[in-house]
């Protein structure tokens, strides 16, 4: 900083006081840079002190330290509450997203980016989360919010999202969907189904037949019937995708304390029938 910043020149609307320490943002006009200003306990933060104020650059380390100090700045699982995924791809739009959701009963998922989006924009899961968090601090948002690692394709995609503290994981197993099975012959379907990873699926083909073919499935006023061909086509199309979702989910269970899980079987080349929708959901539920 070329000159001291006056502690009364708040960049954030109001200072936040929590556990006998005051936090706010200030702006250095010369450097055209924002700083986190702290008056009180500055342990775990990096910066420099001037005129009784500790000026901290908006680094990942200081963002992490601030999340530990102000617990509402950490994303949380949103469960089955009505939620909306915003996804600020530029790191600039979260204040507008906050304005849009204020006064509603919607739980916002302010952070929602895929590996593909991060690659194209040159951002990282940590940068995306930190950018949103600074906006939440600026706007003094204190109600629960989520952070979604969107369109996760492989287990190898997960570590940077887990390290950054994401709490929502959308698994995209589309590359494991067998689109040709939509029109394959019954003989071909039987061959494909016999090669499914039954150990991962935790069931045998005979048990699958008994589960889906024994009786019609009643869903309220809707009755679903599975003939053998319908079941074979569903299993051939989506069996490997379901197994992949299970493997990714198991990894998350081992590495994340609490999280939301979404299976996003979309962007496929073929439509999904009503029975196939039920099959996917039923199998995921059976697998826990």
Q: Catalytic positions, please?
A: 150, 262
H helix or E strand, kind and range, residue 134: helix 125-139
In contact, 95 and 135? CB cutoff 8 Å: yes
Separation of alpha carbons 133 and 60, rounded Å: 11
Separation of alpha carbons 90 and 271, rounded Å: 33
Task: Please give the structure tokens belonging to residue 202.
Answer: 């935790």
Separation of alpha carbons 70 and 66, rounded Å: 6
Separation of alpha carbons 59 and 65, rounded Å: 10
Dihedral, 44, 62, 169, 140 alpha carbons, nearest 10: 110
DSSP class of residue 148? E
Residue 221's CB is within 10 A of a number of other CB atoms, namely 5
Separation of alpha carbons 155 and 261, rounded Å: 14
In contact, 201 and 239? CB cutoff 8 Å: yes
What's the gap between Cα 117 and its chain centre? 13
First to last CA, the chain: 54
């Amino acid at each position: 900083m070329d000159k001291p910043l006056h502690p009364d020149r708040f960049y954030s609307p109001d200072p936040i006081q929590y556990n006998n320490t005051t936090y706010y943002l200030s702006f250095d006009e010369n450097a055209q840079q924002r700083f986190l200003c702290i008056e009180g306990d500055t342990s775990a933060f990096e910066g420099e002190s001037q005129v009784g104020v500790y000026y901290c650059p908006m680094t990942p380390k200081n963002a992490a330290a601030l999340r530990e100090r102000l617990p509402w700045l950490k994303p949380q699982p949103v469960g089955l509450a009505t939620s909306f995924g915003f996804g600020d791809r530029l790191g600039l739009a979260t204040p507008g997203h906050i304005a849009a959701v204020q006064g509603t009963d919607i739980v916002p998922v302010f952070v929602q980016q895929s590996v593909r989006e991060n690659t194209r924009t040159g951002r990282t899961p940590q940068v995306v989360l930190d950018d949103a968090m600074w906006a939440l601090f600026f706007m003094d948002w204190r109600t629960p919010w989520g952070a979604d690692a969107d369109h996760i394709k492989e287990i190898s995609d997960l570590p940077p999202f887990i390290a950054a503290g994401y709490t929502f994981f959308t698994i995209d197993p589309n590359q494991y969907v067998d689109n040709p099975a939509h029109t394959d012959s019954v003989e071909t379907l039987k061959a494909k189904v016999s090669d499914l990873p039954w150990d991962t699926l935790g069931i045998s083909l005979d048990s699958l037949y008994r589960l889906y073919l024994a009786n019609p499935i009643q869903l309220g006023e809707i009755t679903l019937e599975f003939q053998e061909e319908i079941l074979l086509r569903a299993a051939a199309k989506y069996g490997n995708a379901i197994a992949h979702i299970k493997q990714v989910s198991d990894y998350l269970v081992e590495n994340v304390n609490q999280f939301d899980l979404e299976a996003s079987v979309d962007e496929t080349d073929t439509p999904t029938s009503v029975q196939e929708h039920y099959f996917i959901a039923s199998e995921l539920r059976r697998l826990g």
